Amino acid sequence: MTARIIDGKQVAADMRAELKEKVAQLKDKGVTPGLAVVLVGEDPASKSYVTAKERACEEIGIYSDDNRLPAETTEGDLLALIDKLNKDPKINGILVQLPLPKHIDEDNVLLAIDPAKDVDGFHPVNVGKMVVGQDAYLPCTPHGVIQLLLRSNVKLEGAEVVVVGRSNIVGKPVANMLIQKAATGNATVTVCHTRTKNMAEHVKRADIIIAAAGWPNTITADMVKDGAVVIDVGVNRVEDATKKRGYRLAGDVDFEAVKEKASLITPVPGGVGPMTITMLLYNTVQSAEKTLH
C-alpha cells in the first residue's frame, strides 16, 4: 500500500478561506478581530515566525498589532505591555513569541496574559479547561493535528492512537484532546516518551501514530502497522550538502519507507506546519466572536 498524502497546505488554505468569510461577517457587525504579536529580541527564526503570523492575519483581514521590543527589555516593561494589551478592546488575542531572552521568566509572562485573549492556549486556565472538557482556546499545533485528521475523514472514535512525545505544547495536549468524550476525541491513547519500554511494541498497535519527538527517523517502517495513519509533527534540520543552505527539513518519521505501509501520511514540510498558524487565526476569530455575545 502507498499512502495518500495529507496535504496540510490545502487543508490550511481551506480553513483560512472559511475564516476570511467569518472575519468579513464580523466586520459587517462592526468587529475587526485584532491580534497583538509581541517579539522580544532579534532571533532570526522568531522574527520569521512573527512575520509569517502577521502576514497570515493580513491575508484574512485580521488587524495585526506589531510589538517588536529590544532584547534588553525588562520583564517589568514586558508585563506592562501585556497589561495594556489585556485592556485594549481592539485586541482579541495576544501572542508572545517564545523563547524569550533568558532574563525574562516565561511562566510569569504567559500567566500575565488574560486567559480570554490567550489565543496560543498556553495559559494554565485554558489548559485546565481543555483537560476537563470545557470551552477553551486549544493550543495551535495539537489542534491543527486534530483538524488534519477530521478533515481527512479519519475515524477517531475507538481508534488506537500512539503519541510519541509528552511536551506541554504538543504531546500532552494532543493526547488530552483525543481522549475527550467528544467528536474530536473518543480515541484510546498511549503516550510514549524517552522512558517508555519497548516503544516499537506500542507504536505497532496504533491505528493512528502522532510523532512529536523532535528526532529524525524516530518512527521507522518496521514500527508501523499496515494501513496506519501517520501524522508527523517533527521539524528537524538534517545536514544536506546538496542544499544551498547546507540542510533540509525532515520530520520524525522515515517518510519514504513509512509511506509504503501507511494509508495516510503527512509530509514535512507541508503537513502539520501550515496548520499551526491557521489555528492561531481560528482562535483569534473565536475570541472576536465572543465579544458579540
Distance CA 140, CA 98 (A): 14
Q: Which amino acid is at 191?
A: V
Q: Which residue has the cell 501507511?
A: 262
Q: Which is nearer to ligand NAP, 112 or 163 (CB)?
A: 163
Q: Is residue 153 a contact residue for ligand NAP (CB under 6 A)?
A: no
Q: Is residue 266 a contact residue for ligand NAP (CB under 6 A)?
A: no
Q: Which of 22, 117, 120, 232 is catalytic?
A: 120
| Total residues binding ligand NAP (CB under 6 A) | 26
What Rg, from alpha-carbon coordinates, does the chain have? Answer: 19
Q: Is residue 142 a contact residue for ligand NAP (CB under 6 A)?
A: no
Q: Is residue 162 a contact residue for ligand NAP (CB under 6 A)?
A: no
Cα separations (Å) of 129 from 122, 135, 278, 291? 11, 7, 21, 19
Residues forming a β-bridge with 208: 161, 229
Give the angle 291-287-58 at the CA atoms, nearest 5°. 110
Q: Is residue 215 a contact residue for ligand NAP (CB under 6 A)?
A: yes
Distance CA 235, CA 221 (A): 19
Active site residue 14: no
Q: Which is nearer to ligand NAP, 138 or 169 (CB)?
A: 169
Nearest residue to 52 via CA among 121, 127, 140: 140
Mark 216-235 with x for binding to ligand NAP (rule: CB under 6 A) and - for no binding: --x--------------xxx
| Closest CB 51 distance from ligand NAP, rounded Å | 15
Active site residue 97: yes
Distance CA 30, CA 9 (A): 31
Closest residue to bound ligand NAP by CB: 167
- Contacting ligand NAP within 37-66 (CB under 6 A): none
Active site residue 53: yes
Distance CA 58, CA 63 (A): 7
Distance CA 94, CA 50 (A): 12
- Contacting ligand NAP within 167-186 (CB under 6 A): 167, 169-171
Sites of contact with ligand NAP (CB under 6 A)? 141, 164-167, 169-171, 192-196, 199, 212-215, 218, 233-236, 272-273, 276
Active-site positions? 53, 97, 120
